[in-house]
Amino acid sequence: MKSERQDLRARTREYALRIIRLYESLPKSGAVHVISHQLLRSGTSVGAHYSESCRAKSKADFISKIEGSLQELEEGIYWMELLIQAE
């Protein structure tokens, strides 16, 4: 179980780093900047929520924190799709 936890911790960190690199590569003006900033916030929150879940006080607390992480992932998908569709 601990190796799975470390793997997910590493994967969420890598996801955040990739989001940061994407953010840095995008224009810093207009709607793209607003959308990319939202993506940056949600993309870097995934790992933070996961880290919090590892310190949950109960099963219900763990579920709540993991759901927060999943919500941030879904939000990131939304912002990425919007960037792609807006070209």
Question: Above 60 in pLDDT, residue 76?
Answer: yes
Percentage, residues of the chain above pLDDT 70: 94
For the chain, the domain total comes to 1
Helix axes 30-54, 2-25, angle to 10 degrees: 170
What pLDDT is recorded for position 82?
A: 94
**What is the Cα–Cα distance from 57 to 62, expressed in whole angstroms?**
7
Residue 39's pLDDT band, with cuts at 50, 70 and 90, is very high
What pLDDT is recorded for position 29?
A: 86
Q: Give the CATH number, domain containing residue 28.
A: 1.20.1440.60
Q: Which domain holds residue 71?
A: 2-86
pTM of the model: 0.85
What pLDDT is recorded for position 5?
A: 65
Q: What integer is the mean pLDDT of 50-75? A: 94
Residue 14's pLDDT band, with cuts at 50, 70 and 90, is very high
